[in-house]
Amino acid sequence: MGSSHLVLLLQLLAGWQAWSWYVRRVRDGSDEPWGLLALLALALVLPRGARHPLRTLDVGVLAAVNVGLVLGYPWLPPLVRAAVCLLCVTAIVSRMSSGRAFHLGTWLLALLSLPVLATVQFYLGYPLRLVSAAMAAPMLRAMGLSAVREGLHLVVGSNVILVDAPCSGARMLWVGLFLAVTLSCLLKLGAARTALACALATGVILFGNALRVSTLTFLESGHAVHAPWLHEGVGVSTFIPVCLGIAAICLWQRSRQRVGEAHG
């Protein structure tokens, strides 16, 4: 076993409490197994083979980070500790396989692999619902309806419809960003273009979720026949163009990167 592999093993052992917490969260029934998909994608996109040894500076930074984790253990939330441990492992494997410790795409996949859906829903659920309601109101007016937003409610004529937690789009946001990051890694986009692709993808996701909310509100307000399967059907029919839009953004960024490389 080489010294780099020994450091990787020690880092894995140092994070045993984080891995234990990760497993407990994945098994707690809050839809957290979604992160395993990102973990699998991370394993697939990282280059194979250890061709680059760790530098002394790398080992020093890892030691400092782990000392910081030990000192800050009583005050750091488990999610933060797990994120740092996972990024340390990702940085080691990335350095050994590609020669660089930081790669935005793989770091983002590592963060997406964490059990964060319940946390995102708790902290971002309200603002996401607010954004969806604010964007859905003009969409409904474009459909010819008299619609106004009052907080998290959409008032359509005499109907008052709540934009509830399932309509926040948290899952759509996670899946959309996962798609954007994975495609960025597969297309070998640079850090700046990966960040831009994720930012544009976020806008597409928010628009797509608002379109879903406005369509469901249209149905709930009695302007169309509301069959039981329509809720799921609307969700799928709005998410497909969102995925296509994200793919188009990543391919566009790849073509722009190639143009830059040709002129560079």
Walk along the chain (264 residues) and give the pLDDT tens digit of each residue. 567 888 889 999 999 999 999 988 888 776 667 888 999 998 888 776 667 788 888 899 999 999 999 999 889 999 999 999 999 999 998 888 878 888 899 999 999 999 888 888 888 899 999 999 999 999 999 988 888 999 898 998 888 888 988 888 999 999 999 999 999 999 999 999 999 999 999 999 999 999 999 988 888 776 555 566 677 788 788 999 999 999 999 999 999 999 888 876
Domain count, the chain: 2
- What pTM value is reported for the model? 0.91
Residues in the chain: 264
Domain membership flag for residue 41: yes
Domain that holds residue 182: 118-263
Q: Where are the beta strands (DSSP E) in 77-169?
A: 147-150, 153-156, 159-162
Residue 208, token pair as written in the block:
């797509």
Q: How far are the Cα atoms of 75, 89, 189 from residue 65, in angstroms, in the given order? A: 15, 12, 28
Contact 27, 74 (CB under 8 A): no
Confidence (pLDDT) at 30: 65
- Asked which of 44, 72, 103 is the last residue of a domain, the reply is 103
Do 132 and 234 lie in one domain? The reply is yes
Domain membership flag for residue 164: yes
Do 138 and 90 lie in one domain? The reply is no
- Asked which of 47, 76, 103 is the last residue of a domain, the reply is 103
